[in-house]
Structure 1
């Protein structure tokens, strides 16, 4: 049976609302609770790139045991066609702490439909040229809740540089596919510079400006800059509240001497909805952290 919708459970973090999704290798069970305590909105236990082939079976057992014992996480499984794919699915199906499955090299809507039928909540990791080309089809699969951009593998596959300009088309394609498909704004790829939090913050702000709703993290020190970048500021919330309160019946308002029309008012409403959803997500995360402490 598919996993229940995490949004229906007040004690379960919802990956749809996650600003920061922190990877932790699946064979490092000693780091799982530390990852939860980092402040990340969602932990992603990794069975794929973060685990050497010889450690795959150990990693799978370690993650499954933690999810049975009260841990909660998204799990990145191995790609279709690998020797570990079917075993990953069999081991994870029905586990109470599973928040969703992240599928690497997502290209096939058939594979995704099968996974969604098993798990209910799937986050396709779009990281190939074909995956980006099919992004609108991928986003339309029932059970796909959010697209995730695998920028490093995409650049390798497409033969592009790892620059903001070179990745702009792929990023914008995922944003538009998510919007057209009626799902939550996508998650941007990792920043590899671990020594400079400002680099992570800058990358996260750019991703937010492009229409992303969160970002993958590969180190706990990246979590705070990402969370900050994807949260409405106090000033943005104040301004949005002021605009919404000033709206007249015809949808036109004057705020600080300037006229604001329908698109501005709608953007203000979205900011307030966004802030409210983030608050609910934070409360869920805090309850889970307290339960593990």
Structure 2
């Protein structure tokens, strides 16, 4: 998911429009974007939309309300529909939170005869959540990624949203936690919609630390994320050359070799295969 477009769950007039966008994923929100007085209405509208899987080919994510709120279980019950792929769990602070959600999903999927399990995208957006990120990432096979919630993490602490030290250290910690569990890390939102250059700079900083994609709170940010997290033509060509050379080297019992004037061995082969696979998924190879 290079780009994940934010869609308020209380705005059904935007659902089809978002589905027609160029975003890799749609992130419907039942949490902060929905006024408490409209929670019931929003979950009902979103549940009906998800009841019939769309033909848009996008990954569908729903951010429910936090596990300690009175809205959580009703949210999950409403949106566990055929069109849902990933449940985005906000304010995760322990592996126990993940286990509780997984148990609820197990029960609902069994009762509804769902064969494909719903994944969990865990938001890291508090000091304790950040400290326990590694345990959260590895808590259950359903956890497919960690996502940073910069606003909830930084604002209550009086830390400026774009402070480079705060951003870099948070990204580093979350990226390594996700890597240890073998899952993806996704960057949080960039709230200044009128600063596309700032969005690109922010996204490139996340890309440099190995993040897989970034949230988009406005459709104008979607093409920016898609471009930043798209491997360049040069990177794709190099990856394919490494793949071919690796296959030839393996057939000859050789572990290290040179491609484009650079020494290539184990970790570089793994990365090249990852880049090539992403290129194939995006239809670039």
User: How would you bin the TM-score normalised by the shorter chain?
Assistant: 0.7 to 0.9
Q: Which runs of 5+ in 1 are unaligned?
A: 1-17, 281-293
Alignment match, 2:71: 84
What is the match of residue 129 of structure 1?
127
Aligned to 1:196: 195
Q: How does 1:179-218 map to 2 (within 5 A)?
A: 179-183=179-183, 185-218=184-217
- Please tell me whether residue 253 in structure 1 is matched to residue 236 in structure 2: no
Answer with 56-65 or 198-207: which moved more.
Answer: 198-207
Partner residue of 2:43?
60
Greater relative contact order: 1 or 2 (C-alpha under 8 angstroms, separation 6 or more)? 1
In structure 1, the residue matched to 2:112 is none
Deviation at 1:105, TM superposition (A): 0.7
Give the match for residue 178 of structure 2: 178
Deviation at 1:229, TM superposition (A): 1.0
| Structure 1 residues 56-94: Cα deviation after superposition (integer angstroms, max 9, x where no partner) | 11111110010113347211111122231222123223x
Count of residue pairs the alignment pairs up? 261
Structure 1 residue 19 corresponds to structure 2 residue 2: yes
Q: Give the CA RMSD over aligned residues.
A: 1.9
- In the TM superposition, residue 158 of structure 1 has moved relative to its aligned partner by 4.1
Partner of 1:264: 268
Find the residue that maps to 2:174 and give its secondary structure.
helix
- Alpha-carbon separation, structure 2, partners of 1:89 and 1:261: 45
Q: 1:113 aligned to 2:99?
A: yes
1:152-171 to structure 2, matched below 5 A, reads 152-162=151-161, 163-171=163-171
Q: Is the 8 A contact 2:94 2:135 kept in 1?
A: no
**Post-superposition CA distance 1:173-223 (Å, at most 9, x none):** 11111111122x211001112123222222111101111111111001101
User: Alpha-carbon deviations, 1:212-246, whole Å to 9, x = none?
Assistant: 11111100110111011111111111112223333
TM-score, normalising length: structure 1: 0.83
Give the distance between the partners of 1:193 and 1:216, measured in 2 at CA: 13
Distance 2:179 2:223 in 1: 26
**Which residues of structure 2 form unaligned runs of 5+?**
106-117
TM-score (norm 2): 0.85
Q: 1:116 touches 1:144 (CA, 8 Å); kept in 2?
A: no
Task: Indicate if the aligned counterparts of 2:3 and 2:216 stay in contact, CA closer than 8 A.
Answer: yes
